[in-house]
Chain A
Amino acid sequence: MENGRRTAFARGFLAVMPLWLGVVPFGIVYAVIARDAGLSVVETQALSLFVFAGSAQFSAAGLFATGASGVAIVLTTFLLNVRHVLYGLSLGRRMTLDGWRRPTAAYFLTDEVFGVVAAKPSPTFPFLLGAELSLFLVWNLATLGGAFLGAAIPDPAKLGLDLVFPLAFLALLVPLVRTRAELLVAVASGILAYAIAQATTSGGIPIVVTGVAGSLLGAWLTRGRPGGEQRLEDAIREVA
């Protein structure tokens, strides 16, 4: 039993190995950006250890750099991570997680792991945990590497390195835009955020307001299409 359990853990750990290729550069770029935004090595690493959510960590780093309020950063994080409710709903229906297993599974849950586990016919907790810890370990090692790399860059402001923020979000955005509705939401959100940013001094408010308005627009534009599982499968392929 103990041996079989270990095997399932190891299989889960190895099942997400192909994803390391994507996670490593993502983690390094995140850490460089976070350091560039003025976060210390410890703070950069703490986000990876305790939040462990790539896109939210990216946006937080960008928002810290613009001096956004803490409330705006937390609200943006919530907006970006509330999709995990979907993954939990799906996983909870397919496997029994009781006692300490439920919070543990929840803490390390990511898009990638959900994608891998959702594709398995009958997933078990050890398999899930193996996959989760595999990505957690690699994400944090990549963060550590990137944090020290970022520290080696002299005088980021003079080099115009703040341009890395909008470029990074553009590079994250482009692969997500595949339909006309997604393109429309992206363009409308860009314009709206720019307009609000001209009118306010807070770096975070435009993001939160636009995130809600843009997503409402998208949901409205795609009304009357098959909801439920189809869109859930789409959601799986979102960013980490």
Chain B
Amino acid sequence: MTFWIVLAGMVAVTFGSRYAGLALRADLPAFWVRFLHFVPVSVFAALVTPSLEGGLGEGEIRLVGAVVTVLAAWRTKSLGISIAAGMVAFWLLRIPF
């Protein structure tokens, strides 16, 4: 039930944003155009750090996986390859030697 209320809210703000631009005929101040440019950078970075450590005391090897993903994303720009590379590095380090 909660999911569908959240979904309705997501639809409202998403459709609202898409419709508002088409309906309005005005210019956005340059400051807010630049603000919007930085939103994905800021939000994605904010989504990374709080959940990187994990709850199982595997912080170090998860961090190694993250570094591998950054390098892969930088070289390939491919979402799938970058995630896979980081996960494989993490799983390999997880094997108790």
B82 touches A167 (CB 8 A): yes
Q: Which of A16-39 contact B (CB under 8 A)?
A: 25-26, 28-29, 39
A210 touches B17 (CB 8 A): no
Bound CA span A218–B52, Å: 24
Count residues of chain A with CB under 8 A from any CB of chain B.
Answer: 100
Enumerate chain A residues within 8 angstroms of B25, measured Cβ to Cβ.
89, 92-93
Bound CA span A85–B13, Å: 11
Q: Which of A62, A74, A97, A182 contacts B22 (CB 8 A)?
A: A97
A172 touches B79 (CB 8 A): yes
B6 touches A102 (CB 8 A): no
Q: Which of A184-216 contact B (CB under 8 A)?
A: 185-187, 189-194, 197, 203, 206-207, 210-211, 213-216
- A160 sits at the interface (CB 8 A): yes
B interface bracket (residues with beta carbon within 8 Å of A): 35 or more
Contact with B along A80-109 (1 / 0, CB 8 A): 111111111111110001000011011101
A238 touches B23 (CB 8 A): no
A97 → chain B, closest Cβ, in Å?
A: 6
Contact with A along B70-83 (1 / 0, CB 8 A): 10111001111011
Q: Which of A174, A193, A235 contacts B74 (CB 8 A)?
A: A174
B35 touches A215 (CB 8 A): yes
Identify the interface centre among A28, A161, A168, A177: most chain B CB within 10 Å of its CB.
A168
A86 touches B46 (CB 8 A): no
- A133 sits at the interface (CB 8 A): no
Q: Which of B19, B21, B49, B50 contacts A86 (CB 8 A)?
A: B21
Q: Which residues of B contact A (CB under 8 A)?
A: 2-7, 9-15, 17-52, 54, 56, 58, 62, 65-66, 69-70, 72-74, 77-80, 82-83, 86-87, 90-91, 94
Kindly list the 4 A-B residue pairs having the minimum CB-CB distance in the complex, ordered from nearest: A88-B21, A227-B30, A214-B42, A218-B38
